[in-house]
Amino acid sequence: MIRMSADAIKLLKPKVFDKSKWMQLPRDVVIGLDVIGQIPSVCEDLKLGKSALLISGKSTMRLAGDTIREILDENYTIKPFIAEEISMPVIKKAQKAAAGMDFLIGVGGGRVIDTAKIVSYNLDIPFISVPTAASHDGIASSRASVPTVEGHASLDAQPPIAIVADTGIIASAPHRFLASGCADIISNYTAILDWELAHRVKGEPISEYAIALSKMTAEILVKNSHIIKPHQEPSARFVTNALVSSGVAMSIAGSSRPASGGEHKFSHALDKLAPGKALHGESCGIGTIISMYLHGGDWKGIRASLKSIGAPVTPAEVGIDDAIAVEALLMAKTIRPERFTIFDTGLTRESAENLIQMLYRE
Ligand SMILES: [Zn+2]
């Protein structure tokens, strides 16, 4: 037997763990029609305990939350919590309500899932992600987006321990959400180009595995964009699989880099300048067209895919003035300035104006 020296053992116990260096992945991923009924089996499989706080929105509680409560009622203590918005006061209230509970279930759209994710991280208890729409890749990732006074902040959290995505429920959500989820996946293309650019310019480390998975996910989606139709269960399943795959790429990278570049910074800037207009994925999709043009890639192909899915390709389509989109382009580089992207390479007001006008060209 080889004995380790005391010095070697010391090396194994670093005083501070940097969890961002860990690959944290969901353990049970269940995607399909009517899989909501499998939640008790998932809880049992993961031995999560006997009590949970179920975080949901008002309408998503009616849509799915109440059913989950009913099916878990026999063997679990489930306490409902309505999170109408994502904000620090709501997160604090949810944390108080979850005190002493074994785990969390987040049932709803992006805001609900992100709230559950942050509460789970802060209390260090696991959470199950039950998305009711496939609108962005946060359903499976370790990142959470929270509005702050300065705009949106992207926080380190932890990925869900399980994802139960009932594609029947997801297919019944407005098509706008699904199209937005597709656009969030398509943005992987430029997110990767920005990451590779940062690697070449700044020496930022990259993960080829994360890049390969993220790129493949976007490619499969674009190749099949013609089959993505409103309110079809197979379409919902297809997009949900892609969102999970994108989330896994982020877990492998230990950051959102494989799925978030300049187009995401543009999206965050738009959230600040025109709050409540575009869905996350919608503005990312528009940003992807611009970023792809700057990278010298097939921006027209990206635009055609977004169009065929039913995602917007101009600011006007989401009710945003071109002048505001120009400001957002110029503001993009000031958001998370440490994340180098193509928008850091000398955009002027004139070039930003031309880029927005280009979106409308045939
Ligand atoms: Zn995104």
Query: What's the pLDDT band for 283 if we cut at 50, 70, 90?
Result: very high
pLDDT of residue 87: 84
Average pLDDT value for residue range 73-99: 93
pLDDT greater at residue 6 or residue 165: 165
pLDDT of residue 21: 72
CA 353 / ligand 1 centre spacing (Å)? 24
CA 3 / ligand 1 centre spacing (Å)? 47
Query: What's the pLDDT band for 31 if we cut at 50, 70, 90?
Result: very high
pLDDT greater at residue 174 or residue 142: 174
Neighbours of ion ligand 1 (CB under 5 A): 184
CA 91 / ligand 1 centre spacing (Å)? 21
pLDDT greater at residue 111 or residue 312: 312
CA 265 / ligand 1 centre spacing (Å)? 10
Tens digits of per-residue pLDDT, 212-269? 999 999 999 999 999 999 999 999 999 999 999 999 999 999 889 999 999 999 999 9
Average pLDDT value for residue range 172-178: 97
Query: What's the pLDDT band for 109 if we cut at 50, 70, 90?
Result: very high
CA 133 / ligand 1 centre spacing (Å)? 14
pLDDT of residue 88: 86
pLDDT of residue 15: 53
Tens digits of per-residue pLDDT, 129-172? 999 999 988 888 887 877 666 666 677 787 899 999 999 999 99
3-class secondary structure per residue, the chain: CCCCCHHHHHHHCCCCCCHHHCCCCCCEEEEECCHHHHHHHHHHHHCCCCEEEEEECHHHHHHHHHHHHHHHCCCCEEEEEECCCCCHHHHHHHHHHHCCCCEEEEEECHHHHHHHHHHHHHHCCCEEEEECCCCCHHHCCCEEEEEECCEEEEEECCCCCEEEEEHHHHHHCCHHHHHHHHHHHHCHHHHHHHHHHHHHHHCCCCCHHHHHHHHHHHHHHHHCHHHCCCCCHHHHHHHHHHHHHHHHHHHHHCCCHHHCCHHHHHHHHHHHHCCCCCCHHHHHHHHHHHHHHHCCCCHHHHHHHHHHHCCCCCHHHHCCCHHHHHHHHHHHHHCCCCCCCHHHCCCCHHHHHHHHHHCCCC
